[in-house]
């Protein structure tokens, strides 16, 4: 049988299937999404389906993915529980979107 979980930091057991939050932000991973309510609904659905690990970074948006995660999952509803772990690595401050 294949192990379906792993330990984050050696002690937080989570399912191997996680959710990458990079694309819940605006175009080019910059700014808010066009439909904030749909992004929050997607995050709640992921939690409802058992996702325990959300991969995010402050560079996504910047900061937008964390805001959406907080809006969608805090406080937890009856149908969803909080993810056990989320990743976040500091990025240099950006004053303007990257050039296309």
Q: Which residues are catalytic?
A: 60
Is 77 in contact with 43 (CB distance < 8 Å)?
Answer: no
How many other β-carbons are positioned within 10 Å of the β-carbon of residue 20?
13
Residue 85: Cβ within 10 Å count: 16
3-state class (DSSP) for residue 8: strand
Contacts of 32 (CB under 8 A, 6+ apart): 25, 26, 61, 64
């Amino acid at each position: 049988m294949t192990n379906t979980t792993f330990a984050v930091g050696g002690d937080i057991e989570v399912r191997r299937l996680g959710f990458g939050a990079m694309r819940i932000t605006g175009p080019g991973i910059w700014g808010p999404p066009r439909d904030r309510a749909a992004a929050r609904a997607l995050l709640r659905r992921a939690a409802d389906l058992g996702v325990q690990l959300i991969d995010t970074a402050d560079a996504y948006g910047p900061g937008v993915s964390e805001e959406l995660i907080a809006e969608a999952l805090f406080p937890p509803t009856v149908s969803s529980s909080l993810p056990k772990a989320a990743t976040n690595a500091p990025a240099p401050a950006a004053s303007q979107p990257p050039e296309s």
